[in-house]
Structure 1
Amino acid sequence: MKLVFCGTPEFAVPTLRAVLDAGHEVALVLTQPDRPAGRKMELQVPPVKRLALQRGLRVLQPERIKSDQELRGTLEGIQPDAILVVAYGRIIPGWMLELPRFGNINLHGSLLPKYRGAAPIQWAVAKGETETGVTTMRLDAGLDTGDMLLEERIPIGPDTTATELFAQLSHVGVEVVLQTLDGLAKGTLTGRPQNHDEATLAPLLTREDGKLDLAHRTAQEAYNRWRGFYPWPGAHATLHGKRFLVHRMHPSSADLKLVPGELDWSTGELLVGAAEETLLVLDEVQLEGKPRLAGINFVRDFQLHAGEHLD
């Protein structure tokens, strides 16, 4: 097929590489503009752009799509058979949806209709799901509401983080996309509508999502959210009026009763109480402006006193 590929982060790189290696023509790559990042705020090149330039592909990085008449003219001149969209980070306008004969094919990081939205992988882990996968679908004007084409399921381990799952799903998606393109080309694949009554949302993450809120979450629920949201927004609380970050944690089966937020280190580990009389081990922590420390070392270095609480 003649394709236009839309993608930005590392998640999309394996798919672009596989499509090229399978012999498809990628006439144009659309990716987000280079953005400043890091302490020095140096411009960072999107991973998809790096691969595209290595392969000698034409790359455009429009700030806006809907009203970009030059881009529209370019795409109409290409007349692609399909537009592939993998973690592009932009809403596809109506004129672009209608352009290719096979439509705009999106690789989505969940088993639709579950977890529609910007952060499906993170929310699936945070909600304690034991299974997820990828779905190819035809984009329409809604938020991940288009007809589904193919899917592939994989288990989520009890300690799997979203970061690990991103890497797994990016490779699982490769074969699903190739099979989707093959089925469309042969006319053997047709879409099936989603059951909108079963839809759940996976909205863009905010800093507030990382709040521990142990008064309302059990240790397992807090741990699941940390697995889903690390490294950002992570897991955080307040101690001595300062931001308190938890970099590693796990539920504990210690025979102690602590009220939510109460700290204890009598077992040789830094424990904190959570809802329903459950306990978390804080394996690695950091007080705002200070270095990261093992939980028990934090107790010693900061000379915590009995009865200390996280807020």
Structure 2
Amino acid sequence: MRIVFAGTPGFSVPCLQALIDCPGMEVVGVVSQPDRKSGRGMKLNPSAVKQAALDAGIDVITPERLRDNAEALAWLQSKQPDLLVVVAFGMILPKSWLDAPNIVPVNVHASLLPRWRGAAPIERALLAGDSKTGVCIMQMEEGLDTGGIYAQQTLPIGDSTTGSDLWFALAPLGAQLLVKTLPAIAAGLQPVPQAADGITYASKLRNEERVIDWSLPASSIDRLVRCFSPQPGARTQVQGRWLKLIAGEVVTGQQSLLAAGAVAGTGSTLDISCGDGTIYRVKTLQPEGKKAMAAADYLRGSSLQTGDFLTS
């Protein structure tokens, strides 16, 4: 099968590599987003998918847009793909692209559709306190993640699961399910329409969502910290400087009488009073301009005391 692959971040690379390594499948072209400035020197760097394709000697294009782009469409059509496989590409595909493959356009989506359609399904599942997530192999259509499902696999979300944990678990899980399902699709497997109920949308994350609102219950704050751990990190302000929280836990069996955001205890850990009298215990943090450290190490060099406030 001739395959054109569309993807951008590191999450997409296991799927691309699985297709490259799979007998009977030929990745004839890759489309990814343009190079972006990143790193300390803000130099132009290729996406993870583009770099993987170049390393494999595969033809790559990085158009600024796909809609009304005759050159990019001509490139796609010249590849005569049987399948167009899309994994976290980050652009809306116009109908002309969806119509190009001889068989069907296929998407690997990191949620149990129809829950969490959209750009940030991994993070939204964590923030919502879902007990499970997974991956779907779905047929692409013009709607936002509305196509029928060919296959799905579930992954539990534990009480200590982080966004990074899910990323590293779902990426290879999606790759395995993809190469297992594509031959069946080529043989005529028909997708199952998504359920009409249970639809939710995973909107793109905003930078301000990383800032901790201490008036929320400790359970919500714990999910926020885990969602953004270790990078880019949930954050709060201490004495006018940003502090990134990397790991912690909800304190059970105790109630705080202090206002939300107040330091409720210091010692080997940093306890913060949250909404409804709940307490969040910080275990690992990263002060502004410094490396990550245990809360106990931070407290030894800090003047922070019980009753001081952390702010948004």
> Shorter-chain TM-score: what band?
over 0.9
Worse-superposed segment, 285-294 or 173-182: 285-294
SS in 2 for 1:255: coil
User: Superposed, which structure 2 residues align to 1:1-311 within 5 Å?
Assistant: 1-22=1-22, 23-187=24-188, 189-215=189-215, 217-253=216-252, 255-257=254-256, 258-266=258-266, 268-289=268-289, 292-311=292-311
Distance apart, 1:116 and its partner CA: 0.9
SS in 2 for 1:48: helix
Distance apart, 1:294 and its partner CA: 2.9
CA distance in 2, matches of 1:290, 1:179: 45
Give me the CA root mean square deviation. 1.9
Distance apart, 1:253 and its partner CA: 2.7
Worse-superposed segment, 262-271 or 110-119: 262-271
Does the 8 Å contact 2:2/2:27 carry over to 1?
yes
Does the 8 Å contact 1:248/1:284 carry over to 2?
yes
SS in 1 for 2:67: coil
CA distance in 2, matches of 1:297, 1:39: 27
Does the 8 Å contact 1:113/1:198 carry over to 2?
yes
Question: What are the Cα deviations for residues 98-151 of structure 1, in whole angstroms up to 9, with x where unaligned?
Answer: 122322100000000111111111111222222111001111111111111110
SS in 1 for 2:117: coil
Distance apart, 1:196 and its partner CA: 3.8
Does the 8 Å contact 1:242/1:288 carry over to 2?
yes
Worse-superposed segment, 248-257 or 103-112: 248-257
Relative to structure 1, the CA distance from residue 46 to residue 268 in structure 2 (aligned partners, 3 Å threshold; closer, same or farther) is closer
SS in 1 for 2:151: strand
Does the 8 Å contact 2:120/2:205 carry over to 1?
yes
Question: What are the Cα deviations for residues 36-73 of structure 1, in whole angstroms up to 9, with x where unaligned?
Answer: 11111122222222221222211111111112111111
CA distance in 2, matches of 1:115, 1:305: 41
CA distance in 1, matches of 2:223, 2:307: 26
Distance apart, 1:254 and its partner CA: 6.0
CA distance in 2, matches of 1:102, 1:184: 8
CA distance in 2, matches of 1:281, 1:148: 41
CA distance in 2, matches of 1:70, 1:267: 63
Relative to structure 1, the CA distance from residue 77 to residue 304 in structure 2 (aligned partners, 3 Å threshold; closer, same or farther) is closer
Does the 8 Å contact 2:2/2:83 carry over to 1?
yes
Relative to structure 1, the CA distance from residue 233 to residue 54 in structure 2 (aligned partners, 3 Å threshold; closer, same or farther) is closer
CA distance in 2, matches of 1:84, 1:291: 39
Distance apart, 1:165 and its partner CA: 1.1
Letter in 2 for 1:21: D
Does the 8 Å contact 1:110/1:132 carry over to 2?
yes
Letter in 1 for 2:164: T
CA distance in 2, matches of 1:297, 1:256: 25
CA distance in 2, matches of 1:172, 1:268: 38
CA distance in 2, matches of 1:112, 1:106: 12
Tell me which stretches of 4 or more aligned residues in structure 1 moved more than 6 Å: none
Relative to structure 1, the CA distance from residue 169 to residue 291 in structure 2 (aligned partners, 3 Å threshold; closer, same or farther) is closer
The normalised TM-score by structure 2 is: 0.92
SS in 2 for 1:90: coil
Relative to structure 1, the CA distance from residue 290 to residue 99 in structure 2 (aligned partners, 3 Å threshold; closer, same or farther) is closer
Distance apart, 1:265 and its partner CA: 2.6
Distance apart, 1:299 and its partner CA: 3.2
